Amino acid sequence: MATIAVPTPLPSPDADAESLRNAMQGWGTDEKALVEILGRRTAAQRAEIRRAYASVYKESLLTRLDSELSSHFQKAMILLTTDPAERDAKLVRAALEKKRGDDKDAWVLIEASCASTPDHLIAVRRVYRSLFGCSLEEDVAASSAFQQPLRTLLVSLVRSYRCAEEAVDADVARLEAATLAEAIWRKKQPHASEVLRIVSTRSKSQLAATFQCYKEEHGSDIEQDINNCSSQFARMLKIAVWCLTSPEKHFAEVIRYSILGLGTDEDALTRAIVSRADIDLKHIKEEYKVRFKTTVTKDVVGDCSGYYLDILLALVGSED
């Protein structure tokens, strides 16, 4: 469930555009007004505001925000205000441009491919081609940021189109659970071609049924057995499994580990909160509380400050 607290009554897009314009005119920027407006609108409402702003003031709202703001607050507001498919396309591009990608860069591709709807991935691929003049699949296949066999997994995920239907074939679930167990549990080969085929092509509901059969037949969760394979590929396969069937587990970990330690990984923290606020941040907060015995709000307050903290808290919403 989303955590965006939309006000009632809701101002029109034209009124919001005017308020944003006023907040960014003169000698100083009214950052609180920007948080109050953009932090309390859904993605669809923000899109209407962008169109209204461009129509009335003949400039891009994103361009204006970029020129008026700075640091982590600027990045958060730009990510929040950008169309979700365009946002993910740009995040994926940045990850692919790394000379050597680490686990966190691979997360970006897996999240874009697996953590949202099949139609969202199609939109990301379409925007990627429009922005960068080439296909996402080709760029992942040609990237030097990720080594084999991880690159093959990432190509399989970004090229996929999953059925959005919730129908499940129980016989297929049992057969493919056995196939997965043979490769992962018995042979310790999570990179086997049949594993890639199943994870990259089956619908989310079908995969959930398959993973349940796996647990019933073999007495352990598939992610636990993947962990036992101990490799970068295995770590990323587990993330894909989570993003496909239980994305709240992955994003709870992203938030937690972006905060732990001496420094904050603001890019990961921002991406997790901004990208999920319209989708399932409420479930992520619940998972976070159960797993880490604290709240997202408490940890964010303890690690962030200023207007950057304000926009994160606006998106996280209230917590009991």
Question: pTM of the full predicted structure?
Answer: 0.95
Comparing C-alpha atoms, which of 187, 251, 242, 254 is closest to residue 211?
242
**Domains of the chain, residue spans:** 13-69, 84-147, 170-245, 250-316
pLDDT in tens, 153-178: 999 999 998 888 888 999 999 999 99
> Is position 28 annotated in a ligand binding site?
yes
Is the domain spanning 84-147 CATH 1.10.220.10? The answer is yes
Q: Tell whether residue 36 is among the known ligand binding residues.
A: no
The answer to whether the annotation marks 254 as part of a ligand binding site is no
pLDDT exceeds cutoff 70 at 320: no
Domain 13-69 has CATH 1.10.220.10: yes
Is 317 annotated among the ligand-binding residues? Answer: no
- Check the CA dihedral 141-143-148-153 and report its sign: negative
Long-range contacts of 122-126 (CB under 8 A, 24+ apart): 122/161, 123/84, 123/85, 124/85, 124/88, 124/89, 124/92, 125/158, 126/85
Q: Is 68 annotated as a binding residue?
A: yes
Give the model confidence (pLDDT) of 258-317 as tens digits: 998 778 899 999 999 999 999 999 999 999 999 999 999 999 999 999 999 999 999 999
The answer as to CATH 1.10.220.10 being correct for domain 170-245 is yes
Q: 303 a known binding residue?
A: yes
Alpha carbon distance 29, 196 (integer Å): 50
Structural fold of domain 250-316: Annexin V; domain 1 (1.10.220)
